Amino acid sequence: MINRIRDIRKQKGWTLADLAEACDPPTTPQTVGRLETGMRNLSLKWMERIADALGVEPEVLVRSEKAAHPQVVASLGKDGPEALETTRDALLATDLGSDGALMVLTIEYPHGEYRPGDQLWLRQIDPEDAGRAVNRDVLVPRKAGRFSFGRLIDRQGSLVGILPPGHGEKQQVVDSPPWIGVAEMLVRRL
């Protein structure tokens, strides 16, 4: 995920070690570097921890201060587009509120309804809560650093059944995944 941690850290004149030490509890400079470059997932907990250390609001880490918050100016209803009486802030992926880390799956090749360039924002949940994700698209880690992606169609005990997008795909079964990423928002450039 693109973030502004490095920019804000450098504005303060801090090194990676300075920021790592300022975190509560302290972390390593390598971890901060991985968070800055997107090599490590910038979860909400990490955002709050880094923001506290830098003395900024967490949303500043992922949103430009130069750009105004996008506004909803109209809605497209049954009779066509209509102006709103008053504008309101648009929902940003960083505004998605819930427990569990946010993560992003980028689409490089068309799969089902997903196109190259799409970003699918997912919310990490505990496998025990898989019942609330049935019939939703999910990303599930497998052994050896691999993943399964598709529609969650079944959960029996520690087994999770995933139906990949596309025609003729066979169900994949994952045993005891550490987490399930449930699709919450699709970001698509036009």
Q: Within a domain: residue 47?
A: yes
Shared-domain flag, residues 112 and 169: yes
The count of structural domains within the chain is: 2
Shared-domain flag, residues 102 and 150: yes
Per-residue confidence (pLDDT) for residue 52, from 0 to 100: 92
Rounded Cα gap, residues 2 and 117, in angstroms: 15
Q: Look at residue 94 and give its three-state secondary structure.
A: helix
Per-residue confidence (pLDDT) for residue 172, from 0 to 100: 93
Residues whose CB falls within 8 Å of the CB of residue 44, separated by 6 or more in sequence, listed in order = 58, 101, 102
Per-residue confidence (pLDDT) for residue 27, from 0 to 100: 94
Per-residue confidence (pLDDT) for residue 91, from 0 to 100: 66
Shared-domain flag, residues 102 and 177: yes
Q: Within a domain: residue 88?
A: no
Shared-domain flag, residues 117 and 183: yes
Residue found by looking up tokens 């360039």 in the block:
117
Q: Return per-residue pLDDT of the chain as tens, 190 residues.
A: 568 898 889 888 999 999 999 999 999 999 999 898 888 888 888 989 999 999 988 878 876 556 666 777 787 788 878 887 877 777 666 556 566 777 888 888 888 888 998 888 888 899 999 888 999 999 999 888 889 999 999 999 999 999 998 778 899 999 999 999 999 888 888 8
Shared-domain flag, residues 179 and 99: yes
CATH (domain of 158): 2.10.109.10
Provide the β-strand partners of residue 138.
150, 182
Rounded Cα gap, residues 48 and 5, in angstroms: 12
Shared-domain flag, residues 51 and 110: no
**DSSP result, 6-66:** HHHHHHTT--HHHHHHHSSS---HHHHHHHHHTSS---HHHHHHHHHHHTS-GGGGTS-SS
Q: Within a domain: residue 129?
A: yes
Rounded Cα gap, residues 183 and 142, in angstroms: 18
Shared-domain flag, residues 105 and 181: yes
Provide the β-strand partners of residue 176.
none
By the 8 A CB rule, do 133 and 150 touch? Answer: no
Per-residue confidence (pLDDT) for residue 163, from 0 to 100: 94
Per-residue confidence (pLDDT) for residue 69, from 0 to 100: 64
Amino acid at the residue 84: L
Q: Within a domain: residue 71?
A: no
Range of the domain at 104: 95-187
